[in-house]
Structure 1
Amino acid sequence: MTGRPVLYLVVCAAPPALRIGDLVELLRTDGWTVCVIATPTAATWIDTEGLEARTGYPVRAQWRRPGESDVLPKADAVLVAPATFNTLNKWAVGINDNLALGILNEMLGSGLPILACPHAKSALTTHPAHATHVRLLTEAGVRMLPDNTLPVNDGPSRWAAVRDAVRANRTTHTIEPIPH
């Protein structure tokens, strides 16, 4: 429908989510159709109306009702940014208690490229569950950026490392966006 590859951007509730629109713009400039899926808390933090205007698709945070058609196009790749301690741990053990996790769990077995950008306090990243679950997801095919790759500066440059990783992930999996 879009003529461009579709990236599902799963947004979790961590401070970088407040500037997720900057990442959306970088990805769109790179040739992606971006569809935002937010965890329930992240959906209350982000500008859903602004993101919908930028992407042309509603920000999904709730399950659709039985019989409702999906409003999002089929994904070609998935990015989880920021990926919180909570979401990574639930995802690794297959908990499906919100739409974002449901989509991540389904995508894990799809063969699509998945990239995650963990972002958590160091007190959480040293918890033994964190390393175990990151390793489990990595073994399942998720490519992980190093913990807390996102710097604290404002502006689009904060997302440059994530954009570059998406580019590398795209090349590795031969997903080529169509130039505009």
Structure 2
Amino acid sequence: MAKTLYLIVSGAMAREPVSDLVRGLQGADWRVSVLSTPMGTRFHDPAELAELTGEPVRVEFRMPGTGAPLPPPDAVLACPLTFTSVNKIANGIADGFAIGLVCEMFGFGVPTLLVPHCKPDLASHPAFARSLATLRAVPRVTVLHDPAAAHPPSWGEVTAALEEASAAGRGDAPADGGYGYAG
């Protein structure tokens, strides 16, 4: 039976198309739901991702009593993450659906893999280092980031890291997938 994954994308460039990541995850027996920051929809093709997953890319909160909730996740993968998204998540600034959902999943103890990708100039900012340290201290959160690497990790490396991070199992997520206004 497929495991459920929330794939959070933001406005960061990826070395390979995110659609290739989704295909690889599906091949590793993940049922993928894609959520995006508003800027992420300009960097990653929502129509192609919706076609691959069989459901729309979710960008906004759903209103109470409308639409179907997301299925409960076995893991969360936030990849690729911008400088801004990393700093927002680390500081609990849940001002949008995708970032807010990542923050909420921490509280449920859902295994989460964060894969930042930003320019070295931004990565050298002291706020970024503090944010990475904060995120690495969160239980069941793994940060896959090498500041010395010229490129982000390959999708194969990301998938392997996700499998390792999710091996601990799901936290106390509600069985009905009723995460606030997630949807």
With the shorter chain as reference, the TM-score category is 0.7 to 0.9
Structure 1 position 68, deviation (Å): 1.3
Task: Give 1:143's aligned amino acid.
Answer: T
Unaligned runs of 5+ in 1: 176-180
Q: 1:150·1:159 contact (CA, 8 Å) conserved in 2?
A: no
Scaled by the length of structure 1, what TM-score is found? Answer: 0.85
Match of 2:156 among 154, 157, 160: 160
Match of 1:38 among 36, 39, 51: 36
Unaligned runs of 5+ in 2: 171-183
For 2:145 and 2:169, the matched residues in 1 are separated by 23
Structure 1 position 84, deviation (Å): 1.2
Q: Write out aligned runs for 1:11-50 (5 A).
A: 11-16=9-14, 19-50=17-48
Whether 2:61 is the aligned partner of 1:63: answer yes
Q: Secondary structure at the match of 2:34?
A: strand
Q: 1:35·1:57 contact (CA, 8 Å) conserved in 2?
A: yes
Q: Which has the higher helix share?
A: 1
Match of 1:86 among 84, 87, 105: 84
Runs of 4+ residues deviating >3 angstroms: 147-152
Match of 1:170 among 160, 166, 173: 166
CA RMSD of aligned residues (A): 2.0
For 1:91 and 1:174, the matched residues in 2 are separated by 22
For 2:7 and 2:88, the matched residues in 1 are separated by 18
Give deviations 1:9-40, integer Å, cap 9, x for gaps.
00011111871000000000000000000010
Scaled by the length of structure 2, what TM-score is found? Answer: 0.84
